[in-house]
Structure 1
Amino acid sequence: MGKNKSEKFNFTMSRLNALEPGPKRKYVFDSKQPGLRVSVTKTGVKSFQFQAWSKTLGKPLTRTLGRIETMSIAEARKQAAALLAEINQGTDIERKKQDEKRQRQLEPTVKEFAVEYIEKYAKINKKSWKEDQRILNVNILPVIGSLKMSEVKRRDLIAVIDNVADRGSLVMANRTHALLSKMFNYAMERDVIELSPVYGMKKRTSEKPRERILSDTEIVEFWNALGSSPGEMILKMILATGQRPGEVRLAEWTEIQIQNALWTIPSDKTKNNLTHVVPLNEMAIEIIKQMKLKSDGSRYVFPGKSKQKPLTNTSPIHRMQKIILKLGWTEKATPHDLRRTVRTNLAKLGINKIVAERLLNHKEQGISATYDRHDYLQEKTAALSKWNNRLKQLLTGKEGKVIKIREAV
């Protein structure tokens, strides 16, 4: 079987699966349904196709129906019979498919445009595009995914937001609102819709900037409650360096220079898309050395269960909440609050505001962002050394030692 390019037989899955590829693409035809065939490429890809002669156009018309592993023979025969009827009525099924595709592009559903938004905007412009995808899948598409973008009304979006708010997730309702705004504005830019239905919609709740910082007593209690698992060592690293939880979580051994006491975070991992050099103080180096003993060949400083992947972004959050619950604190705290705690203590230690902001890699505004190209490495080193001493003093009652680094990176 398979050598004859025009072989015809009654399709069964066992016979189709037994077809073997040849040096060129070949076709086998169904003896039961006129026009139905299976294409077998030289790489072994098998697809149901329909082809029949159009008397109206004086040429054969072809339509690919689907892979044999994802479509049943019964469904393929059903579609082939419908297409044959259309051809007999004079329909150009190839032109019709092109017109339908163009119509989908001109008037996509929310689900179809969401794919375009993720691929052509979010993945290119947002490091958090996976969160956008999650919000779409969970909050948006189940409610309005089948509607055409041009048909979506503000009332439809209110229903989306209501569903989220009714779960008690007011902050997530705001996040969903923001994503809808971004996606429909992008649809306007792409000339898919004329006006955004999100315009004029207010957020469900006002979000005040978090102000939570750990007191000296809480710092000591929290640090002493931390174990040596990657999820808890990450929390120590955040508190020792003040760096963003996500950037600590994704740290790789290729970015660490223990001898020079430096950690270089590449631009594709930082929030402001700028390479960030972090001087490592005594406590940070001790954390890194402990993780090195457990690395077991992982590329990540804080590996996940598979070793070749980093910890999930929720792991440090969950570990912190469990520790806070164990400590019996009445006020919650997050990994980012540890970073705010470091920034506040740098101010208490008299660290220059510019140096502190550079150390935390906050994006600068105004003319200094354009003209100030000083790397502040020595100043950042001195700042983190001071914080190291203060943290050491809190934890042990003794001063920590200042870590010196080489000038060259």
Structure 2
Amino acid sequence: MPKRIIPLTDMQVQKVKPNAKEIKLGDGDGLYLLVSPSGGKLWRFDYRYLDRRKTLSIGPYPAISLAKARQLRDDARRLLLDGTDPGTVHSKRAKAEKLKESHAAEQRQADYAANTFEKVAREWHSSRVSEWSATHADRLMRQLERDVFPEIGSRHIAEVTFTDIVALLRKVSIRTLETAHRLKIAFHGTFRYAMMHGLITHNPATDFREVLPTVKPKHMAAPTDPKKAAELLRAIDSFSGSFIVKCAMQLAPLLFCRPGELRHAEWSEIDLERALWSIPAEKMKLKKPHLVPLSNQAIVIFKALQTLTGSGRYVFPCHRSPLRCMSENSVNAGLRRLGFEKEEITGHGFRAMARTMLHEILQFQPDVIEAQLAHAVPDRLGNAYNRTQFIKERTAMMQTWADYLDGLKTGAKVIPLKKAN
């Protein structure tokens, strides 16, 4: 008569202590708990199949409780009654689970790669690019590629912390505070985009109030004294570098548009017969179309350029690829090559030069000047800006301005600047 085995209790399984040798605690019908000298506890099931003694490893305790171990033993016994080896079934299940886990791990890895900070930041940038000027969009992406992506771009968006962001912003601020502030806004937008798409549950870039010092506003460097302006204009005419860059530098003071608007100019926008440059809304800071009347002097420069770049898209193509416009630094680099420091003149500074001298020397009305600068200033009747606002006055002003600049270069009598009251 076989020895009767008293079933185990939960307390026994929980309290059993390891020994120098393995301990077997039987539960009946082939199920037992094997306790190793190291303290590990493993459920096993002994059975016979085709007259061969076999052992099935059910799993560890406490991951598998006593009740669960009994259920798995009973399942194995039913398989035996059906003539099936439970060990074979268990092995197939284990392989299937392993394969499933492998696929899950691959999917997790794919999800990780699909949601890196760089990928999400580029998606956010693409979602907003239609709202920005081309200059701002290009500059921001270059700053992300230079200062952010090499540091945290490959990390999962959810792993980037507030501390990571602060450290990066402070590092950038040592070189340029303005760029750090732009990146601060980019961080907030990227994480907000990630939250909207369910990639994260918390935006770590919500409170940067004391992370960076405030940027002190500064005026764009520009010569507003006629004699200094004349020196600058004559130096530009003597530029011996790239002809395309030289033309851009010559047009910058004549047109006084934003540097990004100038370098992104396309031949399809230039009407030399009507002497008009029509800038589409998407290229403008205020997202409104703008007209730039062309003086006779500007038309001469455009016609000279047309023989060189007129068959392509851009008036000022990149020297590396005609599919892109010239770089943001081309005009400034040309000015530096001529010996003018950034404290003296920048590409953007021609706007300040024109604004001051048109009003204080040539006596044009501020609202006409502001309209040509494409600033958000209503006209005398309070109407919102439109591209044809003061177009007749602006056309006359642009020709007068070009003639005045020619006079400066040739040494004509210079009208002194009015002193501010």
* Partner SS for 1:302: coil
Partners of 1:238 and 1:335 within 8 A in 2? yes
Q: Per chain length, whose mean CA-contact separation is higher, i.e. which structure has more relative contact order (CA < 8 Å, sep 6+)?
A: 2
Q: Does residue 1:334 correspond to 2:346, yes or no?
A: yes
Q: Does residue 1:233 correspond to 2:233, yes or no?
A: no
CA distance change for structure 1 residues 156 and 86 in 2, over 3 Å: closer, same or farther?
farther
4+ residue runs of structure 1 moved beyond 6 angstroms?
none
* 1:354-380 deviation digits (Å, cap 9, x = unpaired): 221111112347994648785321121
Q: Does residue 1:262 correspond to 2:276, yes or no?
A: yes
Q: For 1:9-408, what aligned pairs fall within 5 Å after superposition?
A: 87-89=95-97, 91-92=99-100, 96=104, 100=108, 104=112, 108-119=115-126, 121-126=127-132, 127=134, 128-166=136-174, 168-191=175-198, 192-201=200-209, 202-214=211-223, 215-226=225-236, 227=239, 229-295=243-309, 297-305=311-319, 308-309=322-323, 310-325=325-340, 331-348=343-360, 349-364=362-377, 368=382, 370=384, 375-398=389-412
CA distance change for structure 1 residues 144 and 363 in 2, over 3 Å: closer, same or farther?
same
CA distance change for structure 1 residues 374 and 285 in 2, over 3 Å: closer, same or farther?
closer
Q: Name the CA distance, whole Å, in 2 between partners of 1:246 and 1:397.
A: 31
Q: Name the CA distance, whole Å, in 1 between partners of 2:233 and 2:320.
A: 26
* Partner SS for 2:348: helix
* 1:117-141 deviation digits (Å, cap 9, x = unpaired): 233x233433333333332232223
Q: Name the CA distance, whole Å, in 2 between partners of 1:220 and 1:136.
A: 39
Partners of 1:263 and 1:278 within 8 A in 2? yes
Identity %: 25
Partners of 1:181 and 1:199 within 8 A in 2? no
Q: Name the CA distance, whole Å, in 2 between partners of 1:395 and 1:350.
A: 20
The number of aligned residues is 310
In the TM superposition, what is the alpha-carbon distance from 1:154 to its structure 2 partner? Answer: 2.4
Which residue of the partner structure matches residue 72 of structure 2? none
In the TM superposition, what is the alpha-carbon distance from 1:180 to its structure 2 partner? Answer: 1.7
* 1:324-383 deviation digits (Å, cap 9, x = unpaired): 34xxx6933210001211111222222222221111112347994648785321121122
In the TM superposition, what is the alpha-carbon distance from 1:150 to its structure 2 partner? Answer: 3.8
* Partner SS for 1:263: strand
CA distance change for structure 1 residues 246 and 350 in 2, over 3 Å: closer, same or farther?
same
In the TM superposition, what is the alpha-carbon distance from 1:296 to its structure 2 partner? Answer: 6.3
* Partner SS for 1:335: coil
Which residue of the partner structure matches residue 74 of structure 1? none
* Partner SS for 2:291: strand
Q: Name the CA distance, whole Å, in 1 between partners of 2:320 and 2:383.
A: 40
| Structure 1 counterpart of 2:292, one-letter code | V
In the TM superposition, what is the alpha-carbon distance from 1:240 to its structure 2 partner? Answer: 0.6
Which residue of the partner structure matches residue 27 of structure 1? none
In the TM superposition, what is the alpha-carbon distance from 1:323 to its structure 2 partner? Answer: 1.2
Q: Structure 2: which 5+ runs fail to align? A: 1-91, 414-421
CA distance change for structure 1 residues 237 and 182 in 2, over 3 Å: closer, same or farther?
same
Q: Name the CA distance, whole Å, in 2 between partners of 1:86 and 1:224.
A: 83
Q: Name the CA distance, whole Å, in 2 between partners of 1:86 and 1:381.
A: 82
In the TM superposition, what is the alpha-carbon distance from 1:203 to its structure 2 partner? Answer: 2.5
Partners of 2:267 and 2:314 within 8 A in 1? yes
CA distance change for structure 1 residues 114 and 232 in 2, over 3 Å: closer, same or farther?
same
Q: Name the CA distance, whole Å, in 2 between partners of 1:85 and 1:354.
A: 80
* Partner SS for 1:324: coil
Q: Name the CA distance, whole Å, in 2 between partners of 1:258 and 1:278.
A: 12
Q: Name the CA distance, whole Å, in 1 between partners of 2:260 and 2:272.
A: 21
* 1:70-110 deviation digits (Å, cap 9, x = unpaired): xxxxxxxxxxxxxx9985435536973797389659x9442
Partners of 2:231 and 2:409 within 8 A in 1? no
| Structure 2 counterpart of 1:239, one-letter code | P
Partners of 2:177 and 2:215 within 8 A in 1? no
| Length-normalised TM-score, structure 2 | 0.63
Moved more, 175-184 or 297-306: 297-306
